[in-house]
Amino acid sequence: MVKSQLHNRYKAIVIGGSAGSFQGVVKILSNIPENFPLPIIMCLHRLKHVRHGFVEALSIKSNLEVREPYDKEGVKKGMVYLAPANYHMSLELGNYFSMSTEEMINNSRPAIDITLGSAGYVYKDRLVGILLSGANKDGALGMKRIKDRGGYTIVQDPDECMIPTMPNAALAVTEIDMKLKVDEIVKFLLDLAKLYKKY
């Protein structure tokens, strides 16, 4: 692990995932303690017309509260935010969410590129971007944006992914700081948390 990337100036963790990412997400959430010092912002591909069930499914395993934020809701640490069905979810300067119903991107709404890209813009070098298993290239440009703005980038090790298309697409378009297995991602996040005072 590159120690210099472990510091307590991060403001948020953003995670993208699609096909094959659910188990990984559950493993991450079930291992993160309830006093985690950062917000975890997730954009996971999901059925457009099923509004219910996803938050509930993740909540069962999570020590942190999982919610789909409202438009213009402020970002708080120690929360897990999930992009709602049929909306794109962006971060705004001022540290709050905004929703939109723009065109689908990569056949997806929510699109990972939008959440990751806008988070990269807002948090700059104070962001950790994590891209998990998935079957298309959504999220690759979002990861590039995070990297270009100075953020730290992690993809799930393609060898571990059920479907590695998404991490591989990110590896192809930008420099990725770390390829980690889900267990190592958990360890990274826990090590990170230890650096924060109130933790």
Partner 1 sequence: MKEIEIASLKRLTEFVKLNFGYDFTNYAMSSFKRRISRILELYNINSVENLITKLDTEKDFIETFIVEITVNVTEMFRDPSFWRVLRDDVIPGILLNHERIKIWHAGCSSGEEVFSMAIMLKEMGILNNATIIATDLDKDILKRAQMGKYTLKNMELNSKNYIRFQGNHKLEDYYSVKNNLAVLNPDLISNVSFRSHDLVKGDIFNKFDLILCRNVMIYFNQNLQNEVLRRFHGSLFKFGYLAIGSKESLIWCDIANKFIVVNNEEKIYKKFRD
- Contact residues for partner 1, defined by CB under 8 A: 49, 51, 68-73, 84, 86-88, 90-93, 98-103, 114, 118, 121, 141, 145
* Residue 160 tokens, joined: 């571990």
From the candidates 21, 45, 62, 108, give the one annotated as an active-site residue. Answer: 45
**Alpha helices, DSSP H only, in 52-152?**
54-61, 112-123, 140-148
Question: In the numeric block, which tokens belong to residue 136?
Answer: 């298309």
Give the nearer residue to partner 1 in terms of CB position, either 33 or 53.
53
| 98 assigned to active site | no
Active-site hit among 4, 7, 18, 113: 18
CA proximity to 78, closest of 64, 66, 67? 64
Q: Tokens at residue 56, please?
A: 């509930």
Residue number, 8 or 100, with CB nearest to partner 1: 100
- Asked if residues 115 and 43 have their Cβ atoms less than 8 Å apart, the reply is yes
Active-site hit among 62, 118, 133, 138: 138
Please confirm, yes or no, whether 138 is among the known catalytic residues. Answer: yes
Residue 191 annotated among the catalytic residues of the structure: no
Q: How far is the CB of 109 from partner 1 (least distance, A)?
A: 8
Nearer to partner 1, 144 or 180 (CB): 144
Nearest to 120 by CA among 147, 85, 101: 147
Q: Given strand 152-156, what is the order of strands in its sheet?
A: 65-67, 79-82, 40-44, 12-17, 127-131, 152-156, 178-180
Cβ proximity to partner 1: between 49 and 198 the closer is 49
Task: Respond yes or no on whether the N-terminal peptide bond of residue 164 is cis (omega within 30° of 0).
Answer: no
Shortest separation between residue 136's beta carbon and partner 1, angstroms:
19
Positions marked active-site: 18, 45, 138
